[in-house]
Structure 1
Amino acid sequence: MSATEYDLELDARGLFCPEPVMMLHNRINDVQPGGVLRVLATDPSTTRDIPRFCQFLGHELINQSEDDDLFIYLIRRGQ
């Protein structure tokens, strides 16, 4: 899957912990199981929080990248 293939996007730029993960918890429900959510964030704590979120709730972190101060995540929703 290329970095541009996703079903929905969550723009959490400018938000700080715990807001990005709280928003992610709500937004992931808007994606069908197996669908992909792209998350954009600027809070460095997301590099720890989003992988843990995926692990604990059974979602797949497909890709995690950083472009300057922007963190980009691709998450496949679990069942």
Structure 2
Amino acid sequence: MQIVRELDVVEVNNDLHPARRVIIVQREDGFYAYAEQYHFVSKHEGKIVAEGWGTLPGEGIYAYLHDAEIEGRAAFARRHGVDY
């Protein structure tokens, strides 16, 4: 899968990974899906050793990027109780 769009980062009620976003990916078959990502920072002895975005499994199969984005935003908003 290839990321084709990264949506806005928002803070959610999660103690471990509060910074979240939705990405839209294009699947190998040409269809689209959305996935949630969380920002992580790994430290060792006070120094950052890894930082980036972890991706949860993709959801849905959509013919159009726009449809995947609408559904991804709605699912994220319902899941976290935020406007997205």
Q: Under a length normalisation based on structure 1, what TM-score does the superposition of the two structures give?
A: 0.28
Bigger share in helix:
1
Q: Under a length normalisation based on structure 2, what TM-score does the superposition of the two structures give?
A: 0.27
Bigger share in strand:
2
